Each structure stands twice: as C-alpha cells, then as structure tokens.
A and B are shown apart, each in its own frame.
Chain A
Amino acid sequence: MTTRIDARFAELRREGRAALVTFLMAGDPDPKTSLDIIKALPKAGADIIEIGMPFTDPMADGPSIQAAGLRALKAGMNLKKTLEMVRGFRKSDNTTPLVLMGYYNPIYIYGVDKFLSDAKTAGVDGLIIVDLPPEEDGELCLPALKAGLNFIRLATPTTDDKRLPAVLANTSGFVYYVSITGITGSAAADSKVVGEAVSRIQRHTKLPICVGFGIRTPQAARAVAENANGAVVGTALVDALSDSLDAAGQATARTVAEVAELVALLAQGVRGARQAAE
C-alpha cells in the first residue's frame, strides 16, 4: 500500500532534495484562520503538513506550542473539528501528506476505531502520538496500520542501537528523529551530531528520516536537509503566528501571510541543501 507520504518521498527522491515538514496547531488562533493557513502551506513550500491536535497537558511541548494549544481550545477546537479541518483541506488538495500529531487521551476518548475510520475518510495519512512508545503498540499503532494509516515514531538521542529495532518495527511513512533530549522549542542541536545520529538510524531502516526540535531558521533547516530526508519546523512557525495576533490574541490581516512567508524562506533553505549521496 502506498500512502501520500510514500508518494511524496518518492517524488522528492526524484527531485534530489529533502522535505520541509511544517507543524501548526489545529484551530490556532481560531478554526477558520487555521484552515486558511494550512491551505496556504503547500504553495509556500511545505512538502508535508503536520497538524497538532490540541491537548490541555502537552508534556513534551515548550511554552510556544502549549500556548498554541490553549488558544485553539479557547477558540472551541476539538478533535472532531480537527478532522473537519482535514476534510476542508482535502477539498482543494489531494496530494500533500497530512499527519496529525498530539497526545493519546483525546483519541482514546473519541474511540480508537471510530477515530481511525474518521481520520482515514477525512484524508489523514499518518499519526505521531508522543505518549505512545512501542511498549503500548496495541493501543493505537497496530490498529492504525491495519486501517491504512502510517504510524510515525519518534526516535531520540536516548534510543540506542539496542532499542532502535523495537522503535522501528511498526514505524511507517517516515521516522521522526527528535534531535535533542528536551521539549519542542528548545535550543538546536549541533548539525554534525544530528548527522551522525541520522546515519546511525539509517543503518537500521530504509524509511526516510526527518529531523525536528530546535530548527528555527532557513539556515538551520538547510543544514539538517543536507543530512536527513526532511526538516521539521514547528515552534518557529507557531511563534510567527503568535506574533501576528492582536492584543486580544485574535487573528489579523497579516496572520496567514506571516506564516506563509516564513514557510517560503524555510523552503528555500531546504531546497538549497545538497542532498547527501544515497
């Protein structure tokens, strides 16, 4: 089975470049603006779109993404509306891969089977669930694979060679390498160290490897893109969005454009990278 994610990476391999993966929170700062932003991303240069599912207690996220989740919840966002947003996006774009990222509890409460079927129908391609390690694969990972969704696992600097096979076993779509031990929005890792980590993971898998956490600038994205198959940028985009809001936290005429402009710069960075020979 080939998913939109597989197809996109095949395409990028032909182009000889890495992917720009963007993260924004569903419903931030409000559901309508959020959909407008997501719709603007592919044209601005995003190759894969991650959409955060807001949660009150995001234990792996720094202050920026915590605040984004709270803005979204305050604006009435929930998991059902996040799936509606995906359907809205799919009306005009049937090729850009969409990955939902977040925490397990809202999915568990929605109901795993219903969620997987609704997500698949809506046009979701993959899931990244921060608090579901391989030890809990029975919860969502295996049912998701069965439902035809990619389950994208996080590998981290603490995932050693002994543990990597377990982490990679049921991973599909791509591997998300968390470049630092820490939360989103932390300082960037040294690109040489990241490069070595990517090579280490490549010895265990043929899946594309995208690197995230700590990538804020076009230069940093470019450096990562030289070694990995993709660079994930989240906090920097969420900050650009947040900076565009008015004093009451509402969207302004600049909100969509601010995010799109930063995405365009990041895309230039990624496209400027020399891809390591495969």
Chain B
Amino acid sequence: MTQRLPNSFRVGPNEHGHFGIFGGRFVAETLMPLILDLEKAYATAKADPAFQAEMNGYLKDYVGRPSPLYFAERLTEHLGGAKIYFKREELNHTGSHKVNNVLGQIMVARRMGKKRIIAETGAGQHGVATATLCARFGLECVVYMGAVDVARQQSNVIRMEMLGAKVLPVQSGTRTLKDAMNEALRDWVTNVHSTFYCIGTVAGPHPYPMMVRDFQSVIGIETRKQMQEAEGRLPDSLIACIGGGSNAMGLFHPFLDDPGVEIFGVEAAGHGLTQLHAASIAGGRPGVLHGNRTYLLMDDDGQIQDAHSISAGLDYPGIGPEHSWLHETGRVKYLSATDDEALAAFLLLSRLEGIPPALEPAHAIAKVMELAPKRPKDHLMVVNLSGRGDKDIPQITEILKGRKQK
C-alpha cells in the first residue's frame, strides 16, 4: 500500500484519537468512562473564550510568558554556520516547558471538580510543575517517580516536597519513568472518582496526546511571531529533544504545514544505538503501551525493554503517537544523540552562552553542533531550550569526577 501524504499535518487526531495507525485508547474499562468525560470536558473548555482568557492570564503573570527567542551569538560564531536561536523555555516559572501543559490540565481538572491530582515524573520537571500548580490552586498532589530517578534528581524531589506534594518512589520494574507511569495508572484506576491524572507528555490514551500538544503549542505559536519580528520571516529549521516528545510537539506543531521549515527531533541514544538507549523511533517498532499505539523499545515477544539515557527525562521506551505518525509520513526527521554528546553540549553551552541547559535539551544542542556548521549563514535555526540545567549539576559533577579518576 502506498502511503498518501495528508493535505495537512495539523488536523489529527481523528475522533478515535488516531494519528494514522498510532494513538487510540488502550486502557482498562474502569478508566474508559472517565477518559470519555475528560474528552468532553476538554472540548468544552477549548471552545470557551473564558477558559482561554483565564489561561492566558496565568501564562503571562504566573509562568512568565512569552518566553524570549534569543539569538545565540557566540554559539553561532563558534559553529560557523546557521544563525542559531534559542526558544528560552527554561526561563519559565519552575524551569522548563512542563508548566505550560500542567497549567492547562489543572484548569481542566478544576472545571471537572477534581480535587486530587496525580502525576508521573522522570527528571522531576513535570512533577515540580504539577506540585507548583497544585500549591497555587490548593489541590492535593501525589507524584510517582521511579526510585532510580529519585536518587539522581534529588533536588527536584526536595522541591516537590517543599511545595506540598507527596513523592512516592516506585520500586517496580526498572524503577524509572515507565514504571512511574504504570504506578500512576494503578492509582488512577483505584481512585478514579476523585482523581485527575495529569500526564506530563504527549502520550497516553486519547485525548491526552492532543490536549498536551495543544497546551504546549504556545511554544511554536510564540516562536512564529518572534521570528517574524526578529528576522521578518519563518525559521528554516527547528530542533528539539524527545523523550515522550511534548516540548518538541509544542514547537513543531504550528509549523507542520510550512514545507519550507525542516524539522528535527532528537532522541536519546544513551550508550549508543547498538547498546542501551532510549531512542524508540531509531531502535523500536509500533506496539501498544500506556494507552496508545506508538513506537516502543521491545523484544520479539512484545515485552517492553529497559531504556537508558543519562537524562532522566528522556529515559522512556516510548514516544508520543503523533511523533510516530510524523516519522512515518516523513514530515519530521528523527535523529539521536548519545550520553557523551549531550554532556559535551551541556559543557559547551555553559561556557559559550552562560546557559547550562538541562541534560534533555543538551541532546538537541548536540545535534545543532552537527547540523549548524553544514548550513549557510542565513539559515535560521531554532532550538527549544526546554529546561534549565540546575537540577543536573550534582549528577554531572559526579560523572566528571568519575572520569578524572579514570
């Protein structure tokens, strides 16, 4: 069967939550009625100008939007090619793009009358954003976090607790993000009447991938406007890192129908694609997990494999279903960066621009270092600086200390 390209890349998903063969609603019956309620509540909110207005107010005064589009002059000079801009999502309140989505979901939860919020978190950024907004709106907050991630992201655990959230370390499975998501789903199934599950990425059962994308699209919408103001035209390329893929989807989606804009997603290649990694598109195939069909890392029996990345936020064996579809249609190119490449990018950016990026967007910077020198000087490249590196400094210190000793 030859695949026909759609007229628009921005119309998905269909009413069943499908992006091509991807997406869907693969959940236990207990959750199905709630997911249908959520779909309705979100559709109503989306169509309500009062909801939009309230959200825009908080985005401006509480989150601090719009985030700047910054010309990275010294990195541009250093690489000697494309003109590089950073979308400064790390300057948002809570330190990453995660807050855009959490704000939206908490406002939907409030409209649904839910008083208890649960979330899963990998690096802790989504957990921190959720804990923050639960504090702001006086809601009970429970965050599931893999025990491995609790150990490597201590500062975020402390932050969440200070914000009043209960952080529950997850000991099952591989004790990382995927297990945190399993445990959050188990909590949700148990407390379905009182609880709203605030998913941190563009994955999970419909309507989550669509809803999270919509809330994150503020990144790309602002970027279009800001680039017009700075350069009088659209960018030539966009780059963002991908775990589940919410910061990437937020930047990409408003540009999907601009054929002149090249788009690159960067997965985590861990120790390398032939070894332990977290690159679902490069090393996986379509399967069903956590409520949706998407590219997953798994063995021949359909058992989910352990992902590995230096970055807790990318350490997930799947990817949002819309990314799987954008990969298969060819609209977005998916690359990958190793732990070592991300670490080098972290150090370079800290020294050249005075901006230590989180290890997650350091993967995107690593590919900028490869792509930018091959592009002409009038090529406009935007990279989503989705989070700040403060949380990673203890982990990076340990790694560098270990290397010196060798």
In the complex, are the beta carbons of B302 and A57 less than 8 A apart? no
B56 sits at the interface (CB 8 A): no
CA distance A59 to B29 in the complex (A): 12
Give the interface size bracket for A toward B. 35 or more
CB distance from A154 to the nearest CB of B (A): 5
Contact with B along A179-196 (1 / 0, CB 8 A): 001110010000000000
CA distance A50 to B157 in the complex (A): 41
**Cβ–Cβ < 8 Å partners of B27 in chain A:** 131, 133
CB distance from B116 to the nearest CB of A (A): 14
**Cβ–Cβ < 8 Å partners of A105 in chain B:** 287-289, 296, 298, 302, 304
Which of the residues A131, A133, A181 comes within 8 Å of B288, measured between beta carbons?
A131
B47 sits at the interface (CB 8 A): no
B34 sits at the interface (CB 8 A): yes
Closest to B306 in A: A56
In the complex, are the beta carbons of A158 and B304 less than 8 A apart? no
**Cβ–Cβ < 8 Å partners of B186 in chain A:** 59-60, 62, 183
Given A59-B186, A108-B302, A109-B300, A178–B288 Cβ distance below 8 Å?
Answer: no
CA distance A37 to B32 in the complex (A): 35
In the complex, are the beta carbons of A56 and B190 less than 8 A apart? no
Given A131-B288, A183-B189, A156–B29 Cβ distance below 8 Å?
Answer: yes
Closest to A104 in B: B288
**Cβ–Cβ < 8 Å partners of B173 in chain A:** 56-57, 66
CB distance from A219 to the nearest CB of B (A): 24
Which of the residues A62, A155, A182 comes within 8 Å of B29, measured between beta carbons?
A155
Centre residue among B182, B189, B301 by max chain A CB count within 10 A = B301
**Cβ–Cβ < 8 Å partners of B289 in chain A:** 57, 105
A167 sits at the interface (CB 8 A): yes
In the complex, are the beta carbons of A109 and B25 less than 8 A apart? no
A245 sits at the interface (CB 8 A): no
Contact with B along A32-64 (1 / 0, CB 8 A): 000000000000000000000011111110110
In the complex, are the beta carbons of B302 and A63 less than 8 A apart? no
**Cβ–Cβ < 8 Å partners of B26 in chain A:** 104, 131-133, 136
A153 sits at the interface (CB 8 A): yes
A273 sits at the interface (CB 8 A): no
B344 sits at the interface (CB 8 A): no
**Cβ–Cβ < 8 Å partners of A183 in chain B:** 186, 189-190
**Cβ–Cβ < 8 Å partners of A106 in chain B:** 301-303
Closest to A178 in B: B30
Contact with A along B249-289 (1 / 0, CB 8 A): 00000000000000000000000000000000000000111
CA distance A108 to B192 in the complex (A): 28
Contact with B along A100-125 (1 / 0, CB 8 A): 00011111111000000000000000
B28 sits at the interface (CB 8 A): yes
A18 sits at the interface (CB 8 A): no
Contact with B along A158-185 (1 / 0, CB 8 A): 1110010001000000000010011100
Which of the residues A59, A63, A133 comes within 8 Å of B290, measured between beta carbons?
A59
Contact with A along B162-205 (1 / 0, CB 8 A): 00000000001100001100100110011111000000000000
A278 sits at the interface (CB 8 A): no
In the complex, are the beta carbons of A73 and B303 less than 8 A apart? yes
In the complex, are the beta carbons of A135 and B25 less than 8 A apart? yes
CA distance A135 to B33 in the complex (A): 11
In the complex, are the beta carbons of A133 and B25 less than 8 A apart? yes
In the complex, are the beta carbons of B302 and A158 less than 8 A apart? no
B24 sits at the interface (CB 8 A): yes
CA distance A157 to B193 in the complex (A): 10
Contact with B along A71-105 (1 / 0, CB 8 A): 00100001110000000000000000000000111
In the complex, are the beta carbons of A181 and B30 less than 8 A apart? yes
B16 sits at the interface (CB 8 A): yes
> Which residues in chain B, 11-31, are within 8 Å of chain A measured between CB atoms?
16, 24-31
CB distance from A177 to the nearest CB of B (A): 10
Given A132-B26, A135-B32, A186-B190, A78–B288 Cβ distance below 8 Å?
Answer: no
**Cβ–Cβ < 8 Å partners of B16 in chain A:** 135
**Cβ–Cβ < 8 Å partners of B28 in chain A:** 59-60, 130-131, 133, 154, 156
In the complex, are the beta carbons of A181 and B193 less than 8 A apart? yes
**Cβ–Cβ < 8 Å partners of A154 in chain B:** 28-30
In the complex, are the beta carbons of B172 and A182 less than 8 A apart? no
Given A136-B26, A163-B33, A110–B302 Cβ distance below 8 Å?
Answer: yes
CA distance A160 to B37 in the complex (A): 13
CB distance from B316 to the nearest CB of A (A): 12
List, sorted by A's number, 6 A–B pairs whose CB atoms are closer than 8 Å. A60-B30, A131-B288, A131-B291, A134-B32, A135-B16, A163-B32
Top 4 closest pairs, chain A to chain B, by CB? A109-B302, A106-B302, A78-B301, A182-B190
Besides A56-B303, A58-B182, A60-B186, 12 new A-B residue pairs in contact (Cβ under 8 A), listed by A number: A54-B303, A57-B179, A57-B182, A66-B173, A78-B301, A80-B301, A105-B288, A130-B28, A131-B26, A131-B27, A136-B25, A154-B30
List chain A positions with a Cβ less than 8 A from chain B: 54-60, 62-63, 66, 73, 78-80, 103-110, 130-136, 153-160, 163, 167, 178, 181-183, 186
List chain B positions with a Cβ less than 8 A from chain A: 16, 24-34, 172-173, 178-179, 182, 185-186, 189-193, 287-291, 296, 298, 300-304
